[in-house]
Amino acid sequence: MTIHIHRDDRGIPHLRAADARELAHAQGLNAARDRAWQIEVEHRRLRGTSAALLGADAAAWDVLARRARLAHTARLCWLALDDATRDWLAAYTEGVNAALPEAARDAPEFAATGAAPARWQPWVPLGIWLSAHLLFTGMPAKLWRAEAAHRVGDATAGLFATGGIGTAGSNGWLLTGGRTASGAPLLAGDPHRYVEDPGGYQQLRLACPEFDVVGFAVPGVPGIPHFGHTGTVAWGITHAMADYQDLYRERLRRTPGGGVEALGPDGWRPAEHGTEIVEVAGGAPVTVEVVETERGPVVVGGPDDPEAISLRHVPRVTRDLGFAALPRLLRARTVADVDRACDAWVEPVNVLMAADSEGGTLHRVTGRVPVRHHANRLRPVPAWEARYAWRPGAYEPLPRADVTGLAVMANEAGLAAPLGVEFTPGHQHRRITALLTGATGLTAADMAAVHADTLAGDTAAVLGPLAALDGLAADAALLRKRLLAWDGRMDAGSADAAAYAAVRAACARLLAGRPEFAALRTLARDGLTGGDPADGRPGAAYPEALWPWLDLRPRVAFALRNLLAPGAVPGLDPAALVRAAVEEVAAAGGEERTWGERHRLAPWRALPGAPSDAETAGLSGDHDCVLATASVPGVTDLSARGPVARYVWDLAGRDDSGWIVPFGAHGTAGHPHHRDQAPLWREGRLAPVVTDWARLTHEESLIPRTPGRAAVFTRAVPGFGTVTLTPVDPAGDLDLIHAWVSEERARFWGMTGAGREGVLEIYEFLDSLDTHHAYVVRRDGTPVALFQTYDPAADEVGACYDVRAGDIGVHLLIAPPPGPLRRGFTTGLMPTLIAFVFADPAVRRLVAEPDLRNDKAIERALRTGLVLGPLIDLPHKRARLAFLSREAAERAAG
C-alpha cells in the first residue's frame, strides 16, 4: 500500500492511491493529520463525552446526545451495512487511527486540555454524520410550534413559520450548456451552516484508477458526499426543508421492579431504560436517565414527568443512514450514475442537482420521508393513538423536475414543497433567478459574482411603513430620507446599510417586548406543557441544547415581514412601531458607522482562540442576501452562520472551476494554511481548482502502518503450542466474540440475548476503560478463548469483599471446540493465563467469581489451584469467590 500526498499552493490535499480502499485509508490519515483536534471533538460529541474535555458549556449537548442514543444508532447502522461499505469505512478509520496519535502531539489543543485521542471504531463516521444532522431539520420547530400555539393561538403562532436561522440551508443553481460560454453546464452553490473554526468542510481530491474526484469532504467522514466533481459529472445539494423526524408525546411510568413502561396504542409496554454519567471537566458529573419507547428515544422529560417527548427518525427505525451512496458517488461518470447512487441516500433529505459533460442534468429530492398522519409534521402527537404511527416501510415519493436552461433551489417551497411545513421566504431564490434569467454566455466568474450579491431580500417590511410616516423629528426625518434613498445593498462599507440594520433591529426588539408575546418570552425555560395541553400544568424541562430554537427573539427577527403586515397581530399598529424604531435609532446617533463595523464573523470554536482576519474585518451580506452571512436582527449584528463553502463546478473543465472555505485547508492554529483563504471568502471570491499534478507540490509518498491490536503476551508451551493474548478489537473481533457468547453453553457469560449490537457496545465500553481489559487468546494462531481482567475496586465485585492492594479479577470463556474437545486443553492453557496475569509485578492476587451454578468453572478453578472463598450476591448472579496468590502461583509453576 503506497499513498501519495500532494498539495496545491493553498495546502489543499490531493491524495492518490492504488485502489479505493487504500484511498479511503489515505483520506482518514489526512483527516487526522490536518484536522486532529476537530475530529477528536466531533468523536466526543457523538458519544456525549465532550464535556469531559470542554467543561460545563458542552454538557447540555452531551446530555442530548446520550438521550438521543446517537452512538448506539450509529452502531446499529454500521452493523446493517453491506460488507463492501463496511470495509471502506474500516479503511478510513484505520487511516485515522494510524495518524491521530502523532497528529495530536502537534495540535496545541490536546496539550491545553490534557486530552489523549480516542481510538476510532469503524462506525464512528456514521455517528459524526448523525450528530451533525440531529437538529438539522424541523424537530425543534415542532416543539416551538406546539407551545406557541398553546400560548398565543394557532393564528399568531403561524406568523413565525419562516424557516429562520435555526434551520440549515443553502443556495444552489444549475445552468445548462445553452446558457454558458463553453456550451457545458455550470453548477454552483453554497451551504449555509453555523461557521466553525476549523471549518465544517474540507477541500479535497481523491484519485485512484477507478475515479478522480475533487470536492468538499466532511472531516471525520469518508468520501465527498455533498459537493463533488469527477471530471465528467458534478453534483451539489441544498437542504430540502422536508419534515422527516417525528416527536411523540409519551406517558411513562415506573414499575415496581425498577423498570419503565410507556403507554402505546396497545396499552402499557416496557421501555428500555438505564442511566449514564456525563463527566464534566471542572464540574460535577451529570446523571442522565436514558429511556427508549417503541417510538424512539425520549429526548424531553422522563418517567417522573406528566408527559415526555420521544424522537422517531428514519435511521433509528431502519438502521440505515444511507452511507452506501457515498462510495457510489465517487465512481459516478454521468448524472444517471449520480441518480442511482442517491437512490440509497437516507439522511438528511436534500434537493440534489447534477450535470455531466455530455449535457445531462438532474434535479431531484433524495432521502426518505416516512408516510404518516399530516399532524405528525406539525407538532408532537400522542404516542398512545394508533393513527399517528408510521406506515411500516412506506416512504413518500420524491419529486424530481426537468432542467430547462436554469434551475434554482434555495430552501424555498419549491420542488420539495409536498414534503415539508416551513420553508424560507425565498429571497435568495428570487434574486438568483433574477440575476440569471435571460443571460447567456455565462462563465464560472459570472457565477462567483452571483455568490457575492448583497441586495437585501426583504427591506419592504420596514421601509414600507417608513415611507408612509410623516411628522418625524428632524433627526428621524433625515434618517428616513437616507433609508428611502438607500440602494438596498448590505455592503460592508455602507453606512446606510448599517442604519437600516439598526432600525430593523429596533423593530425586532420592540416587537419581542410586546405584551401579545409575553407568554413566549420564557418558553425555553418554562418547559413542556404537561398532561393535557389544554390544562397548562407544568411539565418536563426542555434540554438546554434546544433552548436556542425556543428563543422568541430570533423567531421575531426572521418573521418581521409577517408580524408587521397590517392586521396580522391584533392591536399592533405597524407604522407606529416603525416610527418608534426610527426615532430610537435617530436619538441614539452613531448611524454613521458602516455595516462592516457592526457585521463581523463570530465562528464557533471548541476552545477559545485568537480571532482571525475574517473576524476582525467587516462582512458584506446578511441573512436575506445571496451572500448569506446571517445576523439575528435585534439580538446581534455578528454573523455566526453563513456560507461554510462556496463552489462553481464547470463541466467544460475542472480547472475552470472555483471553490472556497471561510478559513483554510488546515485545522491547526498557526499553520500557514489555517486561515489563508479568509480574505477571499470575505470578499465573496473563489480560489481556482487545480487538478494538473504538475502544478502540485508532492509532499510525501508513504506506506502507512495499519494500526492493529498487537499481541501483548506470547508463550510457547511444550507439547501444547504457542499461546498469545491480543487485546480485543471490538469491531474487528465482533463476529468471533458474538458467535461464542451467544451460544447456550456460554449462558453464564450473560450475553446470550445481547445481539451483535449489544456485544459490540459492551466490548467498546470495556475497551474505553483503564480498569477492565479483554483479550482474544490464540493457540498457534487459532482463537481458543476470551480472557478478561478487571480491577475489583472499580467493579461491582469489589463491594462484596475486602479488596486488597494488588488484586486483579479474571473471567475466562473457552471457545466452542471445532471437534471433540481434546483432554488436557485447559491444563495446557491455564498456566499461560496465570503467567500473563502475574507478569505485572503490581499484581499480588488473582480473584475469580464463577457463577454458583457453573460447576465446570468452579471445578476448573480448583484444578488450577485457586482457593474457594465466600459466596457473594451480585445483581445478575450468585457467585463463589476464588483466590490465587502470587506465592501459590509461583510454587505451582515450580
Q: Could you list the active site residues?
A: 170
Contact 290, 273 (CB under 8 A): yes
Question: What backbone torsions phi and psi does residue 822 show, to the nearest 5 degrees?
Answer: -75, 135
Tell me how far apart the alpha carbons of residues 606 and 464 are, in angstroms, rounded to a whole number: 42
Strands 636-643 and 630-632 come out as antiparallel
Tell me how far apart the alpha carbons of residues 287 and 290 are, in angstroms, rounded to a whole number: 10
Tell me how far apart the alpha carbons of residues 787 and 796 are, in angstroms, rounded to a whole number: 18
Tell me how far apart the alpha carbons of residues 478 and 279 are, in angstroms, rounded to a whole number: 57
Write the CB contacts of 764 (distance below 8 Å, at least 6 apart in sequence). 75, 121, 730, 731
C-alpha cell belonging to residue 52:
469531559
- Surface-to-core class of residue 137, CB atoms within 10 Å of its CB (0-12 exposed, 13-18 middle, 19+ buried): buried
Tell me how far apart the alpha carbons of residues 456 and 469 are, in angstroms, rounded to a whole number: 22
Q: Angle, to 10 degrees, between the axis of helix 574-588 and the axis of helix 495-512?
A: 130
- 3-state helix vs strand vs coil in the chain, percent to 5: 35, 25, 40
Tell me how far apart the alpha carbons of residues 663 and 643 are, in angstroms, rounded to a whole number: 11
Q: For residue 720, what is the DSSP state?
A: T
Contact 97, 121 (CB under 8 A): no
Terminal CA-to-CA distance of the chain, rounded, Å? Answer: 48
Residue type, 734: L
Cβ count within 10 A of residue 511: 24
Of 710, 697, 764, the C-alpha closest to 737 is 764
Strand partners, 254: 260
How far is Cα of residue 141 from the mean position of the Cα atoms in its chain?
Answer: 18
Contact 556, 508 (CB under 8 A): yes
How far is Cα of residue 264 from the mean position of the Cα atoms in its chain?
Answer: 30
Helices (H), 381-443: 427-436
Tell me how far apart the alpha carbons of residues 251 and 261 are, in angstroms, rounded to a whole number: 8
How far lies 469's CA from each of 481, 576, 580, 709, in Å?
11, 9, 11, 76
How far lies 813's CA from each of 287, 445, 817, in Å?
33, 67, 12
Max CA separation in the chain (angstroms): 107
Cβ count within 10 A of residue 599: 25
Contact 550, 140 (CB under 8 A): yes
Residue type, 61: W
Strand partners, 851: 879
